[in-house]
Structure 1
Amino acid sequence: MTHDFTGKRALVTGAASGIGAAAARALAEAGAEHLVLVDLDKERLAAMDLPCAVSLHAGDVADEALWDAVEADASDGGTTLDAAFLNAGIPGQPATFAKMSFAEWRKVISVNLDGLFLSLRSSMRLASDGAAIVLTASVAGVKAEPGIGPYGASKAGVIHMAKIAAKEGAPRRIRVNAIAPGGVDTGIWDGVPFFDNLVAKHQGDRAGALSAMAEGMTPMGRFESAEEIAGQVLFLLSGASGTMTGTTLVSDGGYSL
């Protein structure tokens, strides 16, 4: 299904790579008139080549000053948001609660919850009546696994934040939903020791290593691409999702079953 965003203004965080970049491209290709793109990676953000007007904001989503700047830019032009995809987040380093440092806990929570709060607050302030917002959660917020405490807890929090924001936005017909991907083929795996070891066992074949990992983890036997998740995000941001609000779309190949 093709979703039409002609003339729409949308915000995407974590926009310089992975799912965020795929969503930004998909929105532009679907006719979005103006994209507000936020990412910590200034160089990759500036290198994005999209067929629409863009406003770039490089910085940490957990920095309140960044969101003051985003809101100031929007208010100067008298513009509002028709859609927002709040996707920025980090996985953190694997460790059990007993062996985890408080600094590592705070690092993940700061981006995944504090940063999401700030981006959601600005999005709700800038949203036009009838706007749609999607938050990136994770299947880790639905299914418990050892060693990912701050990530899993933060993503469970994202799911509940979507529900609360949906109730708060309903009087203005602002819809807020979450998407909870499972394994996705993005650069998030690169540099993770167990995945690097798996690639080495496959003689450097990254695609083969990813396929082997997916076969062992999901009933469907494969991970999704960033572009597939972006398509699902556009569905949730579009009128095709109708009255869906406060829901979480779990897209994990059956991992959580």
Structure 2
Amino acid sequence: MGFTNTDMAGRRVVVTGAGRGLGRVLATAFDAAGAQLGLVARSEQALTKVASALEGDPLICAGDVRADGFNESVAEQMVDRFGGIDVWICNAGVSPEVATVEETDPAVWRDIVDVNLTGTFLGARAAAKVMEAGGRIIVTGSVVGVRPRGGLAAYAASKSGSHALVQALAQELGPREITVNAVALGWFDTGLGAHWHRDSERENDIAQHTALGRWGTPEDLPGIYLFLASQASAYVTGSTLTVDGGYSLL
């Protein structure tokens, strides 16, 4: 019997960036759906707080997704604890305050690209080493990588690069029946978009340029990830699925 788009019973799932925002929302949703979780973030304290609110007993892995060997360590711990990995969600990411290209410090550029793009590559690489047929790699992209916005050049470049990475990995891993997809998120009132949401001028501007006329909420987030993690998406790979309320249409 195949999995439904919400049935994660027995699925072994890694969520990076799980200490806050979207990662916390995903951890909660996958836990409720019965997954065996590996939670990854820099702060062990934040992960412990997330884990304490879950029904299951997740593996906690505190560290930096950019660090050599860290993602492989997470994969090894998942294999030791749960016997393998079925789904790896590359969700860890950072976003800067708005800055023009002249104002952007090169060190800030490198940090954003290193976390959002290199960290994604290293996570996907570690997952691919241990995944078997039916594995799923899901990357949190952004509508800013599809429709760049002035003042977010580094973030847009990192997310656009992750979308291209997904296409390349899908071709490489397809013969092994491992799918690789990205979710291009729009503007949500949680996670990296929260500080934008608190600015009434920006909040209204984005809402007016969204077909549904509103920002996304945490309840709008998990469904697409649960779908991509399930058997229901077995023939979907190399895609960037936009979840933005129609922001990219206007």
Shared fold, TM over 0.5: yes
1:35-114 to structure 2, matched below 5 A, reads 35-48=37-50, 49-76=53-80, 79-114=83-118
> 1:137 is paired with a residue of what secondary structure?
strand
In structure 1, the partner of 2:224 is 232
Matched, 1:245 2:249: no
In structure 2, the partner of 1:140 is 144
Contact 1:93-1:104 within 8 A present in 2 as well: no
In structure 2, the partner of 1:20 is 23
Aligned residue type for 2:43:
D
> 1:179 is paired with a residue of what secondary structure?
strand
Provide the TM-score with structure 2 as the length reference. 0.90
> 1:80 is paired with a residue of what secondary structure?
coil
In structure 1, the partner of 2:9 is 6
Aligned residue type for 2:71:
W
In structure 2, the partner of 1:186 is 190
Q: 1:245 to 1:190 in 2, by over 3 A?
A: closer
Contact 2:5-2:232 within 8 A present in 1 as well: no
Q: 1:82 to 1:122 in 2, by over 3 A?
A: same
Contact 2:75-2:85 within 8 A present in 1 as well: no
Q: 1:183 to 1:197 in 2, by over 3 A?
A: closer
Deviation, 1:215, is 2.6
In structure 2, the partner of 1:204 is none
> Which structure has the larger Rg over C-alpha atoms?
1
Identity within the alignment, %:
36
Matched, 1:127 2:119: no
Gaps of 5+ in 2: none
Deviation, 1:53, is 2.9
Q: Which runs of 4+ in 1 moved over 6 A?
A: none
Aligned residue type for 1:7:
G
Per-residue deviation, residues 232-253 of structure 1 (Å, max 9, x unmatched): 1111111112300000111111
Provide the TM-score with structure 1 as the length reference. 0.88
In structure 2, the partner of 1:163 is 167
Aligned residue type for 1:241:
S
Q: 1:189 to 1:130 in 2, by over 3 A?
A: closer
Distance 2:31 2:138 in 1: 17
Distance 1:5 1:72 in 2: 21
Distance 1:230 1:28 in 2: 11
Deviation, 1:213, is 4.7
Give RMSD over aligned pairs.
2.0
Per-residue deviation, residues 61-84 of structure 1 (Å, max 9, x unmatched): 111242242133234458221111
Contact 1:19-1:227 within 8 A present in 2 as well: no
> 1:128 is paired with a residue of what secondary structure?
coil
Distance 2:5 2:198 in 1: 37
Deviation, 1:134, is 0.8
Per-residue deviation, residues 143-188 of structure 1 (Å, max 9, x unmatched): 1211111100000011011111111111111011000011011043
Distance 1:224 1:181 in 2: 9
Q: 1:92 to 1:238 in 2, by over 3 A?
A: same
1:210-225 to structure 2, matched below 5 A, reads 210=203, 212-225=204-217
Contact 1:74-1:126 within 8 A present in 2 as well: no
Contact 1:165-1:176 within 8 A present in 2 as well: yes
Matched, 1:118 2:122: yes
